[in-house]
Amino acid sequence: MADFNSFNLLAPILSAVEKQGYKVPTPIQEQAIPHLLEGKDLLGIAQTGTGKTAAFALPILNRLSKTRVKTRPGRVRTLILTPTRELASQIEANFQTYGVGSRISSKVIFGGVGYRPQIQAMSRGVDVLVATPGRLLDLMNDGHVRYDQLEVFVLDEADRMLDMGFIRDIEKVIAKLPKVKQTLLFSATMPTGIAKLATGLLKDPVKVEVTPQATTVEKIDQKVHFVEKSNKILLLKSILKNRSLKSVLVFTRTKHGADRVVKQLAKESISAAAIHGNKSQGARERALGNFRSGMVRVLVATDIAARGIDVPHVSHVINFDLPFEPESYVHRIGRTARAGREGVAIAFCDNEERKLLKDIEKFIRCKVPIDVDHEYHGVAARVPARGQVLRNPTDKKKADSRRSKKRPARNSRKKAPSRAQTSASCN
Ligand code: AMP
């Protein structure tokens, strides 16, 4: 196995990595860094949580440090496009961390905050600019960002950018970039839109895929609770009574839903904060900071806001609502079990969400085990299908007896799937 010393990184970068306590490179780092140091283009299929930021940040810092160039006003040597403000801030913070001692300047640009300070920030040019597409375009159109000194372009979380409707903006940015440059594209999944984008953008790229597409992070202990919609909040409160759940990320489908959950938890004196698109940048950062420091035990988030959350110690992810897109389930539960840790992902599923659960199981190619061991496993509880795995084997008997009561006689039923046809359990 490679170690960081074998990459031939400059001394300040190596020592910054050491300071972070990273002992060995993660698989994406091991596979990508040597090629990126050679200046190759890269197509990286990887989710956040795999160490992909360092996989591109370290070689970029190395490259920029080796050929020190003075940037002219508005010029950038590296552009990193990313879908959310949180992710942008986080990537830039990583550049600061890994670049300590390298004297590489970095700036972050996103919407929802003052425009003037960002113009000011670009006045002397910058080595690394991390940006979300909308605000970047505004600055470009007003002549405050220029690319004639650009060396490296990174498109991060490309699939999410497409989902969020950024494709036109991305194309407009790409149209302004110089032909000769090193280009890196990262995406958790590879829908046709991204494949097309990659073909047009990358020259003879090295392809690195760390988690095979559509599989769920292995270290996560997944389960589903069947529960009536109206009982979800009670179930959440009862789960959170267990004080050993120290850092819990709860996902709701809507911003209002997130606020409602926080209010309800406050009534029980459970410290919680919401993070979603209606919150100001300051409020989001405060919530995230308090969650990171442990002051707030529960962070309630919507998908888009959660995209950039990198909190290494999230022990539990609770899907209060199931997402409409199966991919989002993978992204959500990927917030736990980060950087080698283990985690638990609990999905709440009401009657109307069963189809969503089915879609998720198809996507991740395994059945999420049902946990019947909770007090709200009532009317909405699905009778487990044959082959469905139960979390709590002692309840298997109950389920069997329910099944025999509810289901028609054996010979009038459709033939049960054979063992080979039945998907395996996730855990
Ligand atoms: P990322 O996928 O870039 O969001 O990184 C996920 C987490 O892994 C971050 O908290 C990083 O600090 C951490 N990390 C990155 N590289 C390593 C490594 N080689 N060893 C241990 N942790 C790492």
Q: Give whole-number Cα distances, 330 to 18, 111, 127, 350, in Å.
A: 30, 27, 33, 19
- Mean pLDDT over 169-194 rounds to 92
Instruction: Give me the pLDDT at residue 286, please.
Output: 87
Number of domains in the chain: 2
Q: Is the pLDDT of residue 173 over 90?
A: yes
Q: Is the pLDDT of residue 120 over 90?
A: yes
Instruction: Give me the pLDDT at residue 398, please.
Output: 47
Instruction: Give me the pLDDT at residue 393, please.
Output: 40
Domain that holds residue 178: 4-209
Residue with more model confidence, 181 or 188? 181
The model's pTM is: 0.62
Ligand 1 atom closest to the CA of 53, numbered from 1:
3
- 427 belongs to a structural domain: no
Q: Which of 3, 22, 82, 288 to mutate to test the pocket of ligand 1 (most atoms within 8 A of CB)?
A: 22
- 338 belongs to a structural domain: yes
Give the three-class secondary structure for 250: strand
Ligand 1 atom closest to the CA of 23, numbered from 1:
20
Instruction: Give me the pLDDT at residue 392, please.
Output: 46
CA of 82 relative to ligand 1 center, distance in Å: 18
Residues 329 and 226 in one domain: yes
- Mean pLDDT over 293-310 rounds to 81
Report pLDDT digits (tens) over 358-402.
999 987 878 899 988 888 876 444 444 444 444 444 444 444 444
Residues 143 and 239 in one domain: no
CA nearest to 105, candidates 77, 67, 139: 77
Residues 176 and 240 in one domain: no
Residues 196 and 231 in one domain: no
364 contacts 218 by C-beta, under 8 angstroms: no
- 214 belongs to a structural domain: no
Mean pLDDT is lowest, of 152-161, 212-221, 255-264, for 212-221
Listed in sequence order, the residues at least 6 apart from 279 whose beta carbon sits closer than 8 Å to its beta carbon are 287, 305
Residues 171 and 262 in one domain: no
Q: Can you tell me the distance from the alpha carbon of 6 to that of 24, in angstroms, rounded to the nearest whole number?
A: 11
Q: Would you give the DSSP letter of residue 264? A: H
Residues 238 and 124 in one domain: no
Residue with more model confidence, 387 or 422? 387
Element (H, E) at 195: helix 192-201
- 215 belongs to a structural domain: no
Residues 116 and 53 in one domain: yes
CATH number of the domain that residue 347 is part of = 3.40.50.300
Residues 251 and 391 in one domain: yes
Q: Give whole-number Cα distances, 379 to 223, 239, 400, in Å.
A: 19, 19, 16
CA of 312 relative to ligand 1 center, distance in Å: 8
What is the chain's mean pLDDT, rounded? Answer: 84
CA of 330 relative to ligand 1 center, distance in Å: 18
- Mean pLDDT over 410-419 rounds to 33
- 426 belongs to a structural domain: no
Q: Which of 166, 190, 209 is the last residue of a domain?
A: 209
Residues 320 and 185 in one domain: no
Residues 202 and 285 in one domain: no
Report pLDDT digits (tens) over 35-47.
999 999 999 998 7
Residues 320 and 402 in one domain: yes
Instruction: Give me the pLDDT at residue 402, please.
Output: 46
Q: Which of 156, 310, 311 to mutate to test the pocket of ligand 1 (most atoms within 8 A of CB)?
A: 310
Q: Which protein residues are within 6 Å of ligand 1, measured from CB?
A: 22, 25-26, 29, 48-54, 310, 312, 338-339
Report pLDDT digits (tens) over 320-351.
999 988 878 887 887 776 555 578 999 999 99
- 393 belongs to a structural domain: yes
- Mean pLDDT over 50-55 rounds to 91
Q: Which of 1, 53, 60, 91 to mutate to test the pocket of ligand 1 (most atoms within 8 A of CB)?
A: 53
Distance of CA 234 to the CA centre of its chain: 28
Instruction: Give me the pLDDT at residue 309, please.
Output: 64
Q: Can you tell me the distance from the alpha carbon of 140 to that of 146, in angstroms, rounded to the nearest whole number?
A: 7
Q: Which of 209, 237, 256 is the last residue of a domain?
A: 209
**pLDDT confidence band for 207 (50 / 70 / 90):** very high
The phi and psi torsions of 130 (rounded to 5 degrees) equal -110, 125
321 contacts 348 by C-beta, under 8 angstroms: yes
Instruction: Give me the pLDDT at residue 190, please.
Output: 82
Instruction: Give me the pLDDT at residue 420, please.
Output: 31
Instruction: Give me the pLDDT at residue 217, please.
Output: 58
Instruction: Give me the pLDDT at residue 395, please.
Output: 44
Q: Which of 187, 209, 231 is the last residue of a domain?
A: 209
- 13 belongs to a structural domain: yes
Instruction: Give me the pLDDT at residue 1, please.
Output: 61
Q: Can you tell me the distance from the alpha carbon of 367 to that of 387, in angstroms, rounded to the nearest whole number?
A: 9
Residues 119 and 8 in one domain: yes
159 contacts 194 by C-beta, under 8 angstroms: yes
Instruction: Give me the pLDDT at residue 385, please.
Output: 45
Q: Is the pLDDT of residue 192 over 90?
A: no
- What spatial distance separates the first Cα and last Cα of the chain, rounded to whole Å? 27
Q: Is the pLDDT of residue 412 over 60?
A: no
Burial of 167 (0-12, 13-18, 19+ CB in 10 A): middle
- Mean pLDDT over 25-32 rounds to 93
CA of 49 relative to ligand 1 center, distance in Å: 6
Instruction: Give me the pLDDT at residue 403, please.
Output: 42
Instruction: Give me the pLDDT at residue 208, please.
Output: 93
Ligand 1 atom closest to the CA of 50, numbered from 1:
2
